[in-house]
């Protein structure tokens, strides 16, 4: 399976991931413990957990690429290039980690039941999950975060209810990364009276956000199309920064073609590839030196300072439009 999902080339994302790994290891006293990561991608976060003090890690992902991960703890890591399923419920670990994978799984209850069987009767096994928050998507009409690869969407409340339904008590339920990601931790229920965490009782708020979304989406779509067509008519050079799923959804939803000159991404494994659907080429930031864009559409505002610094280092001063 060929898939290039890594965000590990961004200093901003790396700082977040390292901080999260360090916090989890310290907060839950995971030094010397083992971890199973379901949907480990290229293995960067699994390596961070072990670098922060965990004893060993097993990562599962059909898109893992042997030989690509560089880490001083390589001998403490093992990878399985396959989808997690019933055939792997024999694997045991002190921690089950799953980041940005649950939203790609349609039968979520079936997946959680499989996790439940993996854990078995062990009461001290820790679950650490992270995934996008759909409340932000609804609230901001972030249509670029809605695409076929995400077949399940969660709020803090719905994710908490999924955990509790399958016999897990919650230890934390937070929004991180500028409120974009839900971070949740849980353990097997101790049959006591569970403590309700902030963010669990969100049904009324989410129902209203769903009702408001169609109009917000129409306004956002019309506004972007009008603005980009105006830039094109003025002869402006426009690029999109970020060649991942957000860019694909943004371009295809708006039906963009010549309004965008090309897409930029810092991940070298994407350079020379093309955006699905529209065919826009993905290029290196270095190619902006000679191109001199007038406008950069930034697919995630959390990277604003990082992108601005790169542009300034090349003595470029385009208008930056965060979505």
Decide if 11-204 and 236-322 have a common fold: yes
Percentage of the chain beyond pLDDT 90 is: 90
Domain extent listing, the chain: 11-204, 236-322
- Integer Cα distance of 86 and 111 in angstroms: 9
Q: pLDDT band at 161, cuts 50/70/90?
A: very high
Is pLDDT above 70 for 193? Answer: no
pLDDT, mean of residues 205-214: 97
CATH superfamily, domain 236-322, is NAD(P)-binding Rossmann-like Domain (3.40.50.720)
The mean pLDDT of the chain is: 94
- Integer Cα distance of 218 and 226 in angstroms: 12
Distance from the first to the final alpha carbon of the chain: 31
Is pLDDT above 70 for 71? Answer: yes
CATH number corresponding to 11-204: 3.40.50.150
Max Cα-Cα span within the chain: 66
The single residue listed with the structure tokens 């079936």 is: 110
pLDDT, mean of residues 125-142: 97
The single residue listed with the structure tokens 């509790």 is: 164
The answer for residues whose C-beta is within 8 angstroms of residue 11's C-beta and 6 or more apart is: 306
Asked if 274 and 282 count as a contact pair (C-beta separation under 8 A), the reply is yes
Q: pLDDT band at 195, cuts 50/70/90?
A: confident
pLDDT, mean of residues 42-66: 96
Is pLDDT above 70 for 8? Answer: no
Is pLDDT above 90 for 163? Answer: yes
Express each pLDDT in 257-272 by its tens digit: 999 999 999 999 999 9
Question: Six-digit token pair at 171?
Answer: 């230890």
Q: pLDDT band at 143, cuts 50/70/90?
A: very high
Q: pLDDT band at 120, cuts 50/70/90?
A: confident
Residue 174: CA atoms inside 13 Å, Cβ hemisphere, count?
A: 10
Is pLDDT above 70 for 2? Answer: no
Asked if 111 and 89 count as a contact pair (C-beta separation under 8 A), the reply is no
pLDDT, mean of residues 99-120: 94
The pTM assigned to this predicted structure is: 0.92
Is pLDDT above 90 for 152? Answer: yes
């Amino acid at each position: 399976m060929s898939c290039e999902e890594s965000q590990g080339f961004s200093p901003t994302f790396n700082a977040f991931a390292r901080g999260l790994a360090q916090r989890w290891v310290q907060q839950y006293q995971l030094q010397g413990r083992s971890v199973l990561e379901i949907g480990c991608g290229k293995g960067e976060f699994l390596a961070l957990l072990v670098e922060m003090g965990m004893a060993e890690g097993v990562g599962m992902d059909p898109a893992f690429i042997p030989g690509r991960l560089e880490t001083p703890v390589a001998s403490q890591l093992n990878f399985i290039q396959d989808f997690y399923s019933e055939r792997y419920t024999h694997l045991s670990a002190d921690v089950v980690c799953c980041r940005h994978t649950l939203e790609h799984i349609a039968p979520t209850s079936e997946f959680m039941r499989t996790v439940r069987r993996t854990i078995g009767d062990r009461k001290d096994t820790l679950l650490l999950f992270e995934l996008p928050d759909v409340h932000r998507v609804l609230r901001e009409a972030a249509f670029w975060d809605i695409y076929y690869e995400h077949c399940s969407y969660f709020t803090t409340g719905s994710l908490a209810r999924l955990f509790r339904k399958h016999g897990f008590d919650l230890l934390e339920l937070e929004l991180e990364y500028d409120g974009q990601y839900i971070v949740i931790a849980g353990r097997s229920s101790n049959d006591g009276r569970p403590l309700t965490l902030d963010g669990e009782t969100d049904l009324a708020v989410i129902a209203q956000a769903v009702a408001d979304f169609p109009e917000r989406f129409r306004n956002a779509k019309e506004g972007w199309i009008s603005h980009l067509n105006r830039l094109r008519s003025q002869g402006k050079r426009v690029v999109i920064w970020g060649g991942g799923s957000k860019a694909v959804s943004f371009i295809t939803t708006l039906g963009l073609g010549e309004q965008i000159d090309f897409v930029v991404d810092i991940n070298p494994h994407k350079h020379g590839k093309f955006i699905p659907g529209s065919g826009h080429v993905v290029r290196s930031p270095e190619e902006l030196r000679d191109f001199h864009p007038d406008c950069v559409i930034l697919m995630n505002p959390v990277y604003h300072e990082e992108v601005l610094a790169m542009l300034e280092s090349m003595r470029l001063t385009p208008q930056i439009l965060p979505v």
